[in-house]
């Protein structure tokens, strides 16, 4: 009989030991109470609690949690009522404070988020609310992180998920957006026409410049050609004069070499005067002395001009 009692007692002791062995997994923590008082926090690993004395008060996950709260009605500075829903990313950093800091921590965070959001939006008007999400997120994260620190909670990030203005405001915003798009379209069309006219004007300008340059080049080439022609004509006339002078000099030399007397020279002079008169002179006066032959030739030329 005594043997059975010992076996039964040993079995009960082994059962108590086995049932009080706990293995804490990664990113988990157990809060242990001893006789109703906080005793310790079990981290990752193997732990054994004292039977009938120690009790696991809370099982806490240390992973980051995402709290998606329903839309909250808020009123802006210019008295526009809208609904805004937020997403809070939080993480438990102290299991003891999380267990004993506040009753129902998640509900407390939800209510704190709603009141903080109303306070922030109440300082902004409608346009600022719609365009200042980053400002709202930063302010809410700072306020919530400071408020939840005594609860062993760290708020890592707060995001405004949706902002839903009233129906009338949405319709007015849509009309404004359509008007803005139409205005931009007209501006783009006007800018396109302006650029087109500028390009056409630039093309005409370039064409006129090129035409003027071409005319200038043509004028310069014509002037150069005329100058070259004048130079050639002058050279030709100079060459002709040189040849005439040379022929005259050779003729005089030949006359001198031939020993032609004065009578022959006078006869040639008369023939020359006859040719000068071109047959139009009615009278030719020949002085006895041919010394004034130049005066006679001039008189005959004057008669011929008449």
Q: Does 103 share its domain with 154?
A: yes
Average pLDDT of span 40-49: 89
Last residue of a domain, one of 105, 134, 165: 165
Q: Does 119 share its domain with 144?
A: yes
Q: Is the pLDDT of residue 287 over 60?
A: no
Within a domain: 197: no
Average pLDDT of span 195-206: 88
Q: Does 52 share its domain with 127?
A: no
DSSP track, 10-47 = HHHHHHHHHHTEEEE-TTEEEEEEETTEEEEEE-SEEE
Q: Does 69 share its domain with 45?
A: no
Within a domain: 203: no
Last residue of a domain, one of 165, 193, 227: 165
Last residue of a domain, one of 30, 61, 92: 61
Task: Say what percent of the chain tops pLDDT 70.
Answer: 82
Tens of pLDDT, residues 150-183: 999 999 999 998 888 888 777 777 788 888 888 8
Reference 41, options 32, 49, 50, 33; nearest CA is: 32
Query: Tokens at residue 163, please?
Result: 């902002």
Q: Does 124 share its domain with 70?
A: yes
Domain region containing 75: 65-165
Cα–Cα–Cα angle for 147, 33, 13, rounded to 5 degrees: 155
Of 67 and 5, the structure prediction assigns the larger pLDDT to: 67
pLDDT computed for residue 261 by the predictor:
55
Reference 122, options 74, 164, 161; nearest CA is: 74
Verdict on whether the full-model pTM lies above 0.75: no
> What are the strands, taking DSSP E only, across the chain?
21-24, 28-34, 37-42, 45-48, 54-61, 65-68, 72-75, 81-92, 153-164
């Amino acid at each position: 009989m005594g043997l059975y009692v010992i076996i039964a007692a040993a079995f009960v002791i082994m059962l108590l030991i086995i049932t009080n062995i706990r293995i804490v997994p990664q990113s988990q923590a157990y809060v242990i109470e001893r006789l109703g008082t906080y005793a310790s926090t079990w981290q990752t690993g193997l732990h054994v609690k004292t039977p009938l004395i120690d009790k696991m008060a809370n099982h806490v996950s240390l992973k980051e949690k995402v709290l998606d709260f329903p839309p909250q009605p808020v009123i802006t500075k210019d008295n526009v009522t809208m609904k805004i829903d937020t997403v809070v990313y939080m993480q438990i950093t102290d299991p003891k404070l999380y267990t004993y800091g506040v009753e129902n921590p998640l509900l407390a965070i939800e209510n704190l988020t709603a009141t903080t959001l109303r306070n922030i939006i109440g300082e902004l008007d409608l346009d600022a609310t719609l365009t200042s999400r980053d400002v709202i997120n930063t302010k809410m994260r700072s306020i919530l992180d400071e408020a939840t620190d005594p609860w062993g909670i760290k708020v890592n990030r707060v995001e405004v998920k949706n902002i839903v203005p009233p129906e009338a405001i949405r319709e007015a915003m849509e009309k404004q957006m359509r008007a803005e798009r139409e205005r931009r379209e007209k501006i783009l069309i006007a800018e396109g026409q302006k650029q087109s006219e500028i390009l056409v004007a630039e093309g005409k300008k370039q064409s006129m410049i090129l035409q003027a340059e071409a005319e200038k080049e043509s004028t310069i080439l014509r002037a150069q050609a005329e100058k070259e022609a004048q130079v050639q004509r002058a050279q030709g006339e100079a060459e002709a004069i040189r040849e005439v002078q040379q022929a005259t000099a050779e003729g005089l030399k030949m006359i001198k070499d031939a020993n032609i007397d004065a009578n022959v020279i006078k006869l040639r002079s008369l023939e020359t005067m006859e040719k000068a008169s071109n047959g139009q002179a009615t009278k030719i006066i020949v002085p006895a002395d041919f010394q004034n032959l130049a005066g006679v030739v001039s008189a005959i030329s004057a008669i011929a001009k008449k």
